[in-house]
């Protein structure tokens, strides 16, 4: 019985080490501008790949000016059918909400909290590149 418990603990330790190694080896804040089209004024940006226990989450966004016109999950957790189904559902719900609200300020999808949070983190990083905030204007100096 003691050997069994030690084997289970050792297996758990190896699995945890692999997950942490995967998370540490992936650049968490790596976003890139994927495409710009001056003819239509669109910009696409790819958010960073966010590591989770069951896989990676990465989102691409397309904007036209300050308007979000497209959101696509490039990577979703898929190590088992349950993860894949939950991730697909969460990505679909989040995509619809982002496009209708024109914002990434959303709550997580119930049952897919970690996937939702990673999706929104990747999306926010992509939005910073694709639709940077407008520059702040300084007040006009008063003539005396």
Question: For residue 55, what is the domain's CATH number?
Answer: 3.90.1010
Reported as a single tens digit per residue, the pLDDT across 9-24 is: 666 666 655 555 555 5
pLDDT at 52: 92
pLDDT at 51: 94
pLDDT at 5: 67
Cα separation, 43 vs 100, whole angstroms: 19
Cα separation, 25 vs 35, whole angstroms: 26
Cα separation, 39 vs 90, whole angstroms: 33
Residue 92, in any domain of the structure? yes
Residue 9, in any domain of the structure? no
Residue 70, in any domain of the structure? yes
Cα separation, 105 vs 57, whole angstroms: 18
Q: Phi and psi of 34, rounded to 5°?
A: -85, -40
Cα 80 to the center of its chain, rounded Å? 20
Number of domains in the chain: 1
- Residue ranges in the chain modelled with pLDDT below 50: 25-28
Per the structure, the complete domain to which residue 37 belongs is given by 28-130
Residue 38, in any domain of the structure? yes
């Amino acid at each position: 019985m003691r050997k069994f418990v030690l084997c289970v603990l050792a297996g758990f330790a190896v699995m945890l080490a692999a997950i942490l190694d995967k998370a540490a080896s992936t650049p968490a804040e790596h976003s890139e501008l994927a495409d710009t089209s001056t003819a239509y004024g669109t910009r696409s940006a790819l958010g960073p790949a966010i590591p989770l226990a069951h896989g990676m989450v990465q989102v691409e966004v397309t904007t036209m000016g300050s308007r979000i016109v497209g959101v696509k999950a490039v990577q979703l957790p898929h190590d088992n059918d349950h993860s894949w189904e939950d991730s697909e559902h969460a990505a679909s719900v989040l995509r619809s909400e982002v496009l209708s609200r024109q914002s990434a300020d959303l709550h997580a999808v119930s049952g897919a909290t970690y996937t939702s949070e990673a999706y929104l983190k990747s999306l926010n990083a992509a939005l910073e590149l694709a639709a940077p905030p407008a520059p702040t204007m300084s007040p006009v100096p008063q003539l005396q």
